[in-house]
Structure 1
């Protein structure tokens, strides 16, 4: 009881709470010093300047509990930041993190929630007791002594001067230093403003793109029956595909398919679905991503060229460009939205039923886009239990100790994708038409692959495993006979360095014989004009940056080199 009374007395002391609250506010800044690859002078500034500002705000009022609550948005950012660091190991809260909150469906979020429990517990223990103490201070109208306030305000002046000097030193000694990018929480506030701006632009998309036209036309004979399918995979990394040299049998079907070309050195320009998929479905790339608000997608190009179009997705609405582009089609269906059951989790093979129904309509010119759920975590739920080939595939909790089980489950999902694509190709071959299929994945995935113990995707700084993706083209017997040059060009280009984000759209147009001023054959992998371009990545501020300028680590460049992939 005596110990309890001492503790109670300690926390009732407003001076003690003042320093406690100040320490809690600066925790994320201190943690970032250990996680971010910044020069020492930048780390000093990242602690000293925010600390001095918090110090000044805390000394502004005699009731430190009320001031602490006023600073609640920064406590929220701190909690979010700690969870982010637990999940990805580095970087501040990105614009894409905020956008993911509104574009990720609830079922995906719930799949990850169990794996964030340690971070959530950490955040609760750090912030909730402090907020309770602050509430008690406010309710009981406790105040700091006047002498304490005067003394602390004098110290604040010194702290602010030191903070401003540290900022000047950071700019002077580190030419790459930017307050909006490197100083927490100023960078988070800037990213929030960008997130609101992009959300507003997205909501206005219908009006900003309404007059857009591809001026597209078909150049092949109208009487020739043609069927083209563009398949966008999910979270599938090339490192686990047997046709790219993986030592497990993850591609028993595709390895036997004739007319298939697998491109080996393909990187995506984004590790987030809400950016990567729109780039695959439109002319935009990392170099001009912000033009997406004025343009439409590839489905509209094929519609203008006289094709009957369809879009089938095994993902839920995300209220962004994937939805907008998909709904341009004559027929569209987000199959998970066909029921109110939030737990409905159909396999990708359900999409084949939609494809069969569309093919049965017998249109002479057909273009179909499929958006699969592929290998998205939780991997074990991406394939039927009877299709589990690599065992054990339980449990699949996001912990290093379950890495082997996670890999087994992930490889099973890749093997299931292999079967899905093989069955789709068989359906197309049976049409007896000029047919082609183009496949890639939006991004890859980390699965505790090295000593960094990274997991999942969409991290602010990508890894090799998140950006090296499969890229396949299949052409039917009839198509190869009629357009042998396209097959030959594809074979000639399959070892070249390719950006899926930049090449997917243009390759699909060439495969379908659709001409438009927006088509660039130097980006089409089936063109003799294809030209390798410098590697870039779409960063959080929608800037195209070289791969060696986005924070990737030595381990990632070693893997790229091992795979024969140029990163410049």
Structure 2
């Protein structure tokens, strides 16, 4: 055996190799998060001492590495996220995504993250391989070395703990409002912040799992004010990953809305922002009275489908996303008719056009009062798999790997998904128009998307730090001629409010109820787009710890 190989297989090498690769996220985050030098030193020094202490607890170094596998996994996960978003620690939302994302979607994403996976494999697979070999060979670290390194680690921990405590004085809580950095271990020191977020994710999962028990006896006390014999149909379409800047209706240079741009009764709302850049947070707010600054309502109240049902409407929920035992599922299941059209199918080709027959069938049943919610797959990555090959307008739309060099092709594919959405919405409007009754359709998206748009090279969405791209969403509203005749004041207000700016998650619930003439104490009329006195207030964003924070904190208007 060569001296070089003997050194590589030595427990001393593995000891320090482990500490170094575990510290890679600490060093990287100290740079990407823009923290002061004093905080960056703490972010590296204290974890380095901790990792040294943990590795010195056993002479069986190879086994110890595998015992610390959660730390290795989080380090690899963290580096993938930094590749995707450029910054941000593993957040609560990321952990929830792990348990709510369907396997096909996850594999689809991994297939297109080759550079990030190569980095992870180079850093962490050799570590686990060498550790496995040393474990199998029963290789041990000398006890005297371990004791020496353990003493050094304990002294370092004590000193760095005092140093870290001093940062709480130097950067106190509350100063962030004055534009200053505030220091908190649970926010700023990896991996402590990761484990803190994991705990919050477990608590959120528990709340979600017990949601139906908590709201079992909840009632909106909803009352219908429109004539009982009037025929009404309302459709709420929840899009996925669609940003308004790629809609022709919003001034985009490409013809991505060839059908809707000719629709006379369409109201296009400008200056619309979502209150979350994640599906599992945004959609529940769209379907309930909960908002970023009043989020706890989600845990104790039912959703918009239940409210319409109480008011005498037949309700339906049709989703092109797979069920994942989340709030979205539970809120959808409050409808009379529920279909997850991809349930039980293994496919990555989620075509939203497949929702149309379900709507047509529901309309054909002749309900006097009908409310339908559609949950689309929309423009979710991989964009290329959201529309049929024959319907691709912008080419080439490959390759699809998540690399800045592929932005032109990724943008072509993304724009094709917007064209597909345009077609589906136009078909829905045609269906409603043919009903010859008071009807309305409201469309918005859960969040937007980053597509390597600027020098930050951000991609996808769901980063703990929102951007102007992944919070940018459209909001479109169509009303039928019959609805216009019966509700001229409401339609007039809807049109007058179209350029005042909207927080979609706050306004959809009260707007839909108001349009349908449904009264309930849960309806906050100041947020409704039907209100003649409607004004956009402070824009809020639901941060990773479920706190409503002004969106301006991230420099977003």
- Shorter-chain TM range is over 0.9
**Structure 1 CA distance for aligned equivalents of residues 75 and 22 of structure 2:** 8
Is 1:149 the counterpart of 2:155? The answer is no
Query: Are the aligned partners of 2:220 and 2:310 in contact in 1 as well (CA < 8 Å)?
Result: yes
**SS of the counterpart of 1:230?**
strand
Residue number in structure 1 paired with 2:333: 327
CA distance in 1, matches of 2:321, 2:11: 52
Aligned to 2:304: 298
Q: Write the mapping of 1:143-222 to structure 2, written as runs, cut at 5 A.
A: 143-175=140-172, 176-222=182-228
Structure 2 spans left out of the alignment, 5+ residues: 173-181
What SS is found at the alignment partner of 1:135?
helix
CA contact (8 A) 1:336 1:345 kept: no
Equivalences for residues 303-322 of structure 1 within 5 A? 303-322=309-328
Out of 469, 473, 498, the position equivalent to 2:502 is 498
- CA displacement 1:85-128 (0-9 Å, x = unmatched): 11211111001101001111112112111122222222222222
How many Å separate the matches in 1 of 2:350 and 2:290? 31
Shift in Å, 1:528? 1.2
Matched, 1:511 2:508: no
Contact 1:39–1:174 (8 Å) recurs in 2: no
Shift of 1:238: 0.6
Deviation at 1:396, TM superposition (A): 2.3
Count of aligned positions: 548
Matches of 2:217 and 2:535, distance apart in 1: 31
Matched, 1:269 2:275: yes
TM-fit CA distance, 1:177: 0.8
Counterpart in 1 of 2:95? 98
Q: Describe how 1:284-433 pairs up with structure 2 within 5 A.
A: 284-337=290-343, 340-343=344-347, 345-433=349-437
Q: Specify which of 225, 246, 253 is matched with residue 247 of structure 1.
A: 253
Using the TM superposition, give the Cα deviation of residue 151 of structure 1 relative to its aligned residue in structure 2, in angstroms. Answer: 2.8
Structure 2 residue corresponding to 1:82, chosen from 63, 79, 83? 79
- 1:302 and 1:313 mapped to 2: Cα distance? 18
Q: Is the 8 A contact 1:285 1:502 kept in 2?
A: yes
Q: C-alpha offsets along residues 372-393 of structure 1, whole Å, 9 cap, x if unaligned?
A: 1111111122122222222222
TM-fit CA distance, 1:344: 6.3
Kindly indicate whether the alpha-carbon contact (under 8 Å) linking 1:44 and 1:166 is maintained by their aligned counterparts in 2: no
Local SS of the residue matching 1:356? helix
Deviation at 1:152, TM superposition (A): 2.1
Task: State how far apart, in whole Å, the 1-side matches of 2:522 and 2:154 are.
Answer: 58
Contact 2:490 2:530 in 1 (8 A): yes
2:179 matched residue in structure 1: none
Residue equivalent to 1:136? 133
Q: 2 CA distance for matches of 1:153 and 1:346?
A: 54
How far off is 1:410 after superposition? 1.0
Distance in 2, matches of 1:455 and 1:5, equals: 45
In 1, Cα distance between equivalents of 2:94 and 2:12: 36
Q: Distance in 2 between matches of 1:523 and 1:252?
A: 31
Deviation at 1:346, TM superposition (A): 4.7
**In the TM superposition, what is the alpha-carbon distance from 1:425 to its structure 2 partner?**
0.7
TM norm structure 1: 0.93
Q: How far apart are residue 273 of structure 1 and its match?
A: 0.6
Pairs within 5 Å for 1:56-67: 56-67=53-64
1:323 and 1:200 map into 2 onto residues whose CA distance is 15
Shift of 1:162: 3.1
For residue 178 of structure 2, what is the aligned residue in structure 1?
none
In the alignment, which of 445, 470, 484 is matched to residue 449 of structure 2? Answer: 445
- The C-alpha deviation readout for 1:267-312, integer Å capped at 9, x for no partner, is 0000111111110000001112233122111000001000011111
User: Is 1:478 aligned with 2:488?
Assistant: no
CA RMSD of aligned residues (A): 1.6
**Cα-to-partner distance string for 1:311-362 (whole Å, 9 max, x where unaligned):** 111111121111111111111111111xx44026352222111111111111
What is the deviation of 1:502? 0.4
Query: Contact 1:537–1:544 (CA<8 Å) still a contact in 2?
Result: yes
What's the TM-score once normalised by structure 2's chain length?
Answer: 0.95
In structure 1, C-alpha distance between the alignment counterparts of 2:61 and 2:348, rounded to whole Å: 49
Tell me how far apart the structure 1 counterparts of residues 340 and 323 of structure 2 sit (CA, whole Å): 7
Question: Corresponding residue for 1:563?
Answer: none
Deviates more, 1:253-262 or 1:467-476: 253-262
Report if aligned partners of 1:521, 1:529 keep a CA contact under 8 Å in 2: no
Mapped partners of 2:395, 2:12: distance in 1: 58
For the 8 Å contact 1:41–1:169, the answer to whether it is kept is no
Residue of structure 2 in register with 1:231 after alignment? 237
Partner of 2:17: 20
Change (3 A) 1:350 1:157: closer
Deviations 1:115-147 (Å, cap 9, x if unpaired)? 222222222222222223223333333333343
User: Separation in 1 of the partners of 2:393 and 2:400?
Assistant: 15
Preserved contact between residue 280 and residue 500 of structure 1 (Cα < 8 Å): yes
Secondary structure of the residue aligned to 1:465 is: coil
Which one of the candidate residues 50, 59, 62 is aligned to 1:53?
50
Corresponding residue for residue 256 of structure 1: 262
Separation (CA, whole Å) in 1 of partners of 2:140 and 2:399: 53
What's 1:457 paired with?
A: 461
Say if 1:49 and 1:166, in contact at 8 Å, map to a contact too: no
C-alpha distance in 2 between matches for 1:152 and 1:341 = 54
Gaps of 5+ in 1: 561-566
Instruction: Verify: 1:521 aligned to 2:518, yes or no.
Output: no
Question: 2 CA distance for matches of 1:347 and 1:16?
Answer: 52
Distance 1:346 1:139, change over 3 A: closer
Cα offset, 1:169, TM superposition: 3.1
Question: Residues 105 and 348 of structure 2 are in contact (CA less than 8 Å); yes or no, is this contact kept in structure 1?
Answer: no
Distance 2:503 2:486 in 1: 27
CA contact (8 A) 2:314 2:336 kept: yes
SS in 2 for 1:467: coil
Q: Residue 284 of structure 2 aligns with which residue?
A: 278
